[in-house]
C-alpha cells in the first residue's frame, strides 16, 4: 500500500525488533511503523531504543484494542502514538502524511500518546480529572467503549439509540478532555476505569 504512493518511499523493512533497530539506524527514516508484537526484541523495546538514539524519528505503533498493557507501555517508549491495524487505507495514509508534516491528527483510528494531550501529559499539567463529572450512564458507556464495543453494540447493550450513544460519547470526550474513542480508551486504561459506576 505504501509503495504505491508517489510521495511515500519505503526505505526498509524488518522481521524483528533487533533487525529494525539496526536498519533504522542505517536508513534514518522520517517515520517508523512499528508493530507492538515482534519476535525477539519486542516492538515497544525497539521503539524505546530507536527514540533514545534519534528522537527526531517519528514512531507509530501498530496495535489492536485488546493490547492494553502494551498500549500503555508505548506511551513511555518515545512513540508518537498508536494506530489501529484495521484502519481504512485512506485514513491510514492520511495519518502518516499528517504525522510527517507535524500536523495534529484527529482520527478514530489513532491515539496520540505523547504530543497531543495524552492522559499522562494532562496529569502532568495538573488539569482536572473529568471522570468525576461523568453521569452513571456516561460511565456505563465509557466502560463498554473501553471493552472495544462499537456504538451499535453499546446501544444494544444499554437499550439506547445510536444517536443517543453518540451524544453520550461527545459529552464524555469533552468531560475527560479527549478527542476520539481511542484516546478515551487510553484514558480508561490509564485511570484503570475497569467497571461502570454502581
3-state per-residue secondary structure call for the chain: CCCCCCCCCCCCCCCEHHHHHHHHHHHCCCEEEEECCCECCCHHHHHHHHHHHCCCCEEEEEECCCCHHHHHHHCCCCCCEEEECCCCHHHHHHHHHHHHHCCCCCCCCEEECCCCCCHHHHHHCCCCCHHHHCCHHHHHHHHHHHCCCCHHHHHHHHCCCHHHHHHHHHHHHHHHCCCCHHHHHHHHHHHCCCCCCC
Torsion, Cα 198 161 178 43, to 10 degrees, reads: 90
Cell numbers that stand for 25 in this block: 539506524
Distance of CA 21 to the CA centre of its chain: 22
- Give the pLDDT score at 124: 43
Q: What is the topology classification, in CATH, of domain 17-116?
A: Rossmann fold (3.40.50)
Cell numbers that stand for 167 in this block: 451524544
d(CA 10, CA 12): 6
- Give the pLDDT score at 65: 60
pTM: 0.57
Distance of CA 61 to the CA centre of its chain: 8
- Give the pLDDT score at 122: 41
Do residues 16 and 41 make contact, with C-beta atoms less than 8 angstroms apart?
yes
Do residues 127 and 177 make contact, with C-beta atoms less than 8 angstroms apart?
yes
Q: Where are the domains of the chain?
A: 17-116, 129-191
Query: pLDDT (tens digit, 0 to 9) for every residue of the chain, 198 residues total?
Result: 899 999 999 999 998 889 999 999 999 999 999 988 888 888 888 888 998 888 889 988 887 765 556 666 666 677 887 787 778 888 889 889 988 888 767 666 676 554 443 444 444 433 445 566 888 898 889 888 877 788 898 999 999 998 899 888 888 888 888 877 777 877 776 665 344 444
| Domain covering 129-191 in this structure, CATH number | 1.10.10.10
Domains 17-116 and 129-191 belong to one CATH topology: no
Amino acid at each position: 500500500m505504501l509503495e504505491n504512493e508517489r510521495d511515500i518511499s519505503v526505505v526498509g523493512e524488518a522481521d524483528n525488533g533487533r533487525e529494525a533497530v539496526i536498519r533504522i539506524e542505517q536508513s534514518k527514516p522520517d517515520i517508523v511503523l512499528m508493530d507492538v508484537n515482534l519476535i525477539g526484541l519486542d516492538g515497544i523495546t525497539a521503539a524505546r531504543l530507536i527514540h533514545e538514539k534519534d528522537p527526531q524519528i517519528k514512531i507509530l505503533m501498530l496495535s489492536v484494542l485488546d493490547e492494553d498493557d502494551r498500549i500503555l507501555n508505548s506511551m513511555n517508549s518515545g512513540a508518537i502514538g498508536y494506530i489501529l491495524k484495521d484502519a481504512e487505507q485512506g485514513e491510514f495514509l492520511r495519518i502518516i502524511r499528517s504525522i510527517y508534516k507535524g500536523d495534529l491528527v484527529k482520527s478514530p483510528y489513532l491515539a496520540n500518546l505523547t504530543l497531543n494531550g495524552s492522559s499522562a501529559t494532562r496529569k502532568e499539567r495538573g488539569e482536572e480529572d473529568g471522570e468525576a463529572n461523568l453521569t452513571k450512564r456516561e460511565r456505563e458507556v465509557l466502560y463498554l467503549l473501553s471493552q472495544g464495543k462499537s456504538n451499535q453494540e453499546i446501544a444494544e447493550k444499554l437499550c439506547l439509540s445510536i444517536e443517543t450513544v453518540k451524544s453520550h460519547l461527545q459529552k464524555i470526550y469533552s468531560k475527560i478532555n479527549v478527542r476520539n474513542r481511542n484516546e478515551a480508551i487510553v484514558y480508561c486504561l490509564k485511570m484503570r476505569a475497569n467497571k461502570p459506576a454502581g
